[in-house]
Amino acid sequence: MNFRDLGGYPTSDGRSIRWRTLFRSDALHALTPADVSQLTAIGLSDIVDLRSTYELDAEGRGPLGREAIAFHHTPLFDGDPQSGNRSAPTNMSLGERYLGLMFVGQKKIANVVRILAAARGGAVYHCAAGKDRTGVISAVLLGALGVPDDLIVADYALSAERIDAIIARVMSMKGYEDALRHMPEDTLHAKPETMEKVVAEIGARYGSMEGYLRDAGVDDSVLERLRAKCLV
């Protein structure tokens, strides 16, 4: 429901994101044989699964698990998604939740960037809905590659075009119906102001998304490899 190519976004230095290199998605377990053929045809070499072990065990990897594609299970948080939703303060905005994830999971996010930079071909990263954890990774990647903040926000907000279908699909998955029922209504959207808060706060604390990654230990070699791979 929420698979898309990040190719084509311009950067502040006059370049753009290379097509068929970085993809973001919701969970990939329900792909059809035609979907699998299309993804293998475009040279997909790596999958980064941001879901928890609980989520992966409940839904599985899906048909791409039978393909010669490197699989990296890199959960940004692990455990039952229901417990996380119930323990988080209900008065937190969605942007504040994203920032909390970015601060607590900074090293894990840095590791995802290292994996994507090292991928030999096209790479897709995904969570369950392709909106929240995937949205955070997208913001970090696009920012580190030099995509302006307004386009990072616009990319995040594209999920709003299919939010009803995304929620319906997640509701049909094992273990998610009760989790969504306990989530504050403020989290079930993809409003621009949510990501605007994130990029503003990261900019204020670290100077940029690149600064955020450097603070997590990502060095020049990784950033240079990422740019060489993803920019044209």
Q: Which domains does the chain have, with CATH numbers?
A: 4-230 (3.90.190.10)
The answer to whether the beta carbons of residues 25 and 124 sit under 8 Å apart is yes
CA distance 172 to 158: 22
Range of weakest confidence among 50-54, 76-80, 118-122, 129-133? 76-80
Res 82 pLDDT > 60? no
Mean pLDDT over each residue of the chain, to the nearest integer: 91
Please report which confidence band the pLDDT of residue 172 belongs to, taking 50, 70 and 90 as the band edges: confident
pTM: predicted TM-score of the whole model, two decimal places: 0.92
The answer to whether the beta carbons of residues 146 and 122 sit under 8 Å apart is no
Distances (CA, A) of 38 to 20, 71, 97, 128, 206: 12, 18, 34, 21, 39
Q: How far apart are the first and last CA of the chain?
A: 28
CA distance 224 to 18: 15
Range of weakest confidence among 24-33, 74-83, 164-173, 181-190? 181-190
CA distance 197 to 139: 12
Mean pLDDT of 176-195: 75
Q: What percent of the chain has pLDDT over 70?
A: 89
Please report which confidence band the pLDDT of residue 164 belongs to, taking 50, 70 and 90 as the band edges: confident
